[in-house]
A and B are shown apart, each in its own frame.
Chain A
Amino acid sequence: MEKISTAKKIRVFIKHNGRIIIGGTLVFLMIMMAFFAPLLTKYDPNGTDIYSRFEGPSQEHFLGTDGSGTDLWSQIVYGARASLLIAFIAQIFTMAIGATLGLVCGFFPKVDKVVMRILEAINSLPTILLIFVLGMVFGSSYFNLILTLVIAGLFGPTRYVRAQVLSLRQKEFVEREVAMGAGTLRIMWMHVLPQCSSYLLVTLGSGLSSKIMSLASMSFLGVGLPSGVPNWGTLISSGQSVLMMYPYLVFYPMLALAITIFGFSMLGDGLRDLFDPTTN
Chain B
Amino acid sequence: MLKFTVKRVLSAIPVLLVILILVFSLMRMIPGNPMYSLQADSNMTEEELIMMQEKYGLNGSIFEQFFRYLKNIVKGDWGTSFFNGKPVFENIFSRMEPTILITVFATLISLLLGVPIGIYAATHHNSKLDYILSSTSMIFTIVPSFCFGVGLLYLFAFKLKWFPLSSYEYIEKGGFWNSIWHIFLPSLAIGLSGMAGYARHTRSQMLDVLNSDYIRTARAKGLSDRKVYYRHALRNVMSFLITMVSGTITVNLGGATVLEKVFNIQGVGLLSYSSLFGKDYPQEQAILIFFAVIFVFTNILLDIVYKLLDPRVQLD
Contact = CB atoms under 8 A, between A and B. Distances in A.
Interface in A262-280: 262, 265, 279-280
Contacts of A261: 141-143
Question: For this complex, into which size category does the number of interface residues on chain B fall?
Answer: 35 or more
Select the residue from A117, A128, A243, A250 with max chain B CB neighbours within 10 A.
Answer: A128
B26 interface: yes
Question: For this complex, into which size category does the number of interface residues on chain A fall?
Answer: 35 or more
Interface stretch (A4-12, A70-78, A95-103, A213-221): A213-221
Interface string A197-233: 0000000000001000100110011000000000000
Interface in A52-79: none
A126 B141 contact: no
A127 B251 contact: yes
Nearest to A128: B254
A136 B30 contact: yes
Interface string A111-136: 00000011011111111110011101
B29 interface: yes
Given A121-B19, A213-B144, A129 B30 contact: no
A48 interface: no
Interface in B2-47: 14-15, 18-19, 22-23, 26-27, 29-31
A272 to B, nearest CB: 12
A254 B147 CA distance: 7
B286 to A, nearest CB: 13
A148 B146 CA distance: 20
Contacts of B273: 132, 221
Contacts of B141: 261, 265
A265 B138 contact: yes
A124 to B, nearest CB: 4
B150 interface: yes
B110 interface: no
Contact of B150 (A132, A209, A243): A243
Contact of B250 (A127, A136, A262, A279): A127
A137 interface: yes
A132 B250 contact: no
A139 B29 CA distance: 10
A121 to B, nearest CB: 4
Interface string B251-262: 101110110011
A139 B31 CA distance: 8
Contacts of A126: 250-251, 253-254, 257, 291, 295
B14 A117 contact: yes
B147 A133 contact: no
A161 interface: no
B143 A258 contact: yes
B309 to A, nearest CB: 23
A74 B288 CA distance: 38
B153 to A, nearest CB: 7
B131 interface: no
A171 to B, nearest CB: 18
A137 B143 contact: no
B277 to A, nearest CB: 8
6 contacts: A125-B291, A137-B30, A137-B31, A236-B146, A243-B158, A279-B204
Interface of B: 14-15, 18-19, 22-23, 26-27, 29-31, 138, 141-144, 146-147, 150-151, 153-154, 158, 204, 207-208, 250-251, 253-255, 257-258, 261-262, 269, 272-273, 276-277, 284, 288, 291-292, 295-296
Ranked 7 nearest A-B pairs via Cβ: A126-B254, A128-B254, A121-B18, A213-B144, A262-B142, A121-B19, A124-B295
